[in-house]
C-alpha cells in the first residue's frame, strides 16, 4: 500500500488551492440566498431577490416568504413572492 508523502517542495504547498466558501457580508444577502433556495428562483430572477431583500425590511420579506409558502401550493412560487413584494411596495409609497 502506498502512503502519502506530502508535498516535495515548498512551492507545492502554495500551488495547492483550498476551496473556501465566502460567507455573506450582510444579513439581507443571507436572507436572499435562503429565499432563492426555498422557492427555487430561476437564475434570471436572482438579482431581483437580492434587490428586494436590500430595499425592504427583513420582517416584511420573511412575511412575504411565509405567505408564499402557505398560499401558493402549485405553480411558480417565485412569481407569487414577487407579486406580494410589489404589492407591499405600492402600499408603502
Structure confidence at residue 65 (pLDDT): 95
* Whole-number average pLDDT of the chain: 87
- Residue 61 near residue 52, CB atoms below 8 Å: yes
pLDDT, position 12? 74
**Tens-digit pLDDT profile for residues 13-70:** 677 777 777 888 899 999 999 999 999 999 999 999 999 999 999 999 999 999 999 9
Residues in contact with 60: Cβ distance below 8 Å, sequence separation at least 6, in sequence order: 88
49 and 36 in contact (C-beta within 8 Å)? yes
- The percent of residues above 70 in pLDDT, for the chain, comes to 91
pLDDT (0 to 100) of residue 7: 62
Closest CA to 40 of 10, 81, 12, 85: 81
Assessment of whether the complete model's pTM goes beyond 0.75: no
For the chain, give every domain's residue range.
Answer: 24-92
Amino acid at each position: 500500500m502506498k502512503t502519502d508523502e506530502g508535498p516535495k517542495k515548498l512551492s507545492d504547498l502554495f500551488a495547492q488551492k483550498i476551496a473556501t466558501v465566502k460567507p455573506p457580508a450582510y444579513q439581507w444577502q443571507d436572507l436572499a440566498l435562503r429565499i432563492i433556495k426555498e422557492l427555487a428562483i430561476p437564475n434570471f430572477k436572482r438579482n431581483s431577490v437580492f434587490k428586494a431583500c436590500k430595499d425592504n425590511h427583513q420582517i416584511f420579506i420573511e412575511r412575504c416568504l411565509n405567505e408564499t409558502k402557505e398560499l401558493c401550493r402549485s405553480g411558480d412560487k417565485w412569481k407569487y413572492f414577487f407579486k406580494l413584494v410589489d404589492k407591499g411596495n405600492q402600499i408603502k409609497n
